[in-house]
């Protein structure tokens, strides 16, 4: 049976022993050491008359297990694993058509991470804005055009509107990778220095417009690769609130006879 592995003061879980509950609601487990044991007690031997099996039983005290806010013991609690719930991707980047392309591309990225995609669950909202960078392209006839960059941000929201994750990335138009590039030539000005001169054919389009449209195309093709990474989140939903579970790891324990 897989159960939560908690950090217990004084020692760790004794392999092969069951975790048991008592009528008063407490959970007990066997530990290899415990605070308050007799001086000189060695939990790794079986010669001590008070601890013949080489371990001691201890109750597990966890936040949320006792008291007024005992959400771990709430009979109506629900285990929520967001990686099993659908994610709907919404994008607003450029035109409506461009936004749809970006949304489909990022949805594929989310699917490769193991998340189902569709309505009815969490929402991943993506927004993008085109800006002029500090760099520019100079043309032989004396004109200049600012090289654009696209700043994209994403926010993963639960069905209740709570932020679960957010990310941001910036990409600039690349002269070297542009489909409008005809040729490239490096001119050396001085030892160790040089400049690359490109020849472009923008097919009669405005250079600024052509660069911006190409940048959005590359952003759509790239999708969320390298920057959208949704975390695996699990929590307990109890009393209308989502609570993190104080679990450090998972371990297997032997159940008492007759228990499932």
pLDDT (tens digit per residue) in 20-69: 777 766 777 777 655 455 555 555 544 455 555 556 677 766 667 767 77
In terms of domains, do 130 and 173 share one? yes
In terms of domains, do 71 and 105 share one? no
Both tokens of 88, joined, read 């709907």
DSSP letter, residue 54 = S
Residue 220 has pLDDT above 80, yes or no: yes
**Domain closes at, from 76, 93, 111:** 76
In terms of domains, do 171 and 92 share one? yes
Residue 178 has pLDDT above 70, yes or no: yes
**Domain closes at, from 76, 111, 140:** 76
In terms of domains, do 117 and 138 share one? yes
Q: What pLDDT shows up at residue 114?
A: 92
Q: What pLDDT shows up at residue 123?
A: 96
For the segment 85-113, the average pLDDT, to the nearest whole number, is 93
In terms of domains, do 161 and 204 share one? yes
Q: What is the percent of the chain with per-residue pLDDT over 90, rounded to a whole number?
A: 38
In terms of domains, do 68 and 103 share one? no
Domain with 117 in it: what CATH number?
A: 3.30.160
Has residue 71 been placed in a domain? yes
DSSP letter, residue 60 = -
Has residue 249 been placed in a domain? no
For the segment 161-168, the average pLDDT, to the nearest whole number, is 93
Has residue 245 been placed in a domain? no
pLDDT (tens digit per residue) in 108-164: 999 999 999 999 889 999 999 999 999 988 887 778 899 999 999 999 998 888 899
Say which residue the tokens 């490096």 belong to. 186
Q: What pLDDT shows up at residue 50?
A: 54
Has residue 192 been placed in a domain? yes
In terms of domains, do 67 and 124 share one? no
Among 30-34, 189-193, 219-223, whose mean pLDDT is lowest? 30-34
Total domains in the chain come to 2
In terms of domains, do 184 and 144 share one? yes
In terms of domains, do 93 and 65 share one? no
CA 93/CA 106 separation, integer angstroms: 12
Has residue 247 been placed in a domain? no
Q: What pLDDT shows up at residue 250?
A: 60
In terms of domains, do 4 and 131 share one? no
In terms of domains, do 94 and 197 share one? yes
Has residue 252 been placed in a domain? no
Has residue 104 been placed in a domain? yes
**Domain closes at, from 76, 91, 118:** 76
% helix, strand, coil for the chain, step of 5: 15, 40, 45
User: Is the separation of the CB atoms in 138 and 196 below 8 Å?
Assistant: no
In terms of domains, do 62 and 106 share one? no
What's the domain range around 171? 82-235
Beta partners for 144? 138
Note the maximum CA span of the chain: 97
Cα angle 133, 134, 137; round to 5: 85
The stretches of the chain forming alpha helices (DSSP H) are 96-112, 207-222
Q: Which residue has the higher pLDDT, 239 or 89?
A: 89
Give the strand pairing for 87-93 and 122-138: parallel
Has residue 163 been placed in a domain? yes
N-to-C CA span, the chain: 8
Residue 231 has pLDDT above 80, yes or no: yes
């Amino acid at each position: 049976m897989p159960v939560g592995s908690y950090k217990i003061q004084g020692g760790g879980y004794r392999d092969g022993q069951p975790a048991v509950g008592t009528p008063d609601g407490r959970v007990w487990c066997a530990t290899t050491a415990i605070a308050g044991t007799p001086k000189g007690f060695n939990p790794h031997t079986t010669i001590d008359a008070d601890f013949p099996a080489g371990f001691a039983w201890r109750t597990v005290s966890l936040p949320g297990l006792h008291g007024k806010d005992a959400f771990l013991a709430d009979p109506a609690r629900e285990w929520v694993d967001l990686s099993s719930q659908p994610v709907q991707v919404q994008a607003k980047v450029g035109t409506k058509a461009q936004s749809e392309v970006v949304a489909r591309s990022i949805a594929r990225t989310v699917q490769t991470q193991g998340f189902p995609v569709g309505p009815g669950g969490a929402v991943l909202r993506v927004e993008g804005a085109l800006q002029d960078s500090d760099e520019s392209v100079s043309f032989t006839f004396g004109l200049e055009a600012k090289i654009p960059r696209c700043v994209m941000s994403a926010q993963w929201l639960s069905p209740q509107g709570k932020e679960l994750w957010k990310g941001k990335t910036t990409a600039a138009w690349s002269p070297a990778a542009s489909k409008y590039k005809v040729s490239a030539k490096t001119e050396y000005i001085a030892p160790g220095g040089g400049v690359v001169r490109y020849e472009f054919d923008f097919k009669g389009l405005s250079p600024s417009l052509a660069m911006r449209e190409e940048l959005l195309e590359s952003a759509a093709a790239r999708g969320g690769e390298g920057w959208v990474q949704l975390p695996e989140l699990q929590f307990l939903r109890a009393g209308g609130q989502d609570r993190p579970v104080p679990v450090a790891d998972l371990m297997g324990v032997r159940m008492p006879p007759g228990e499932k």
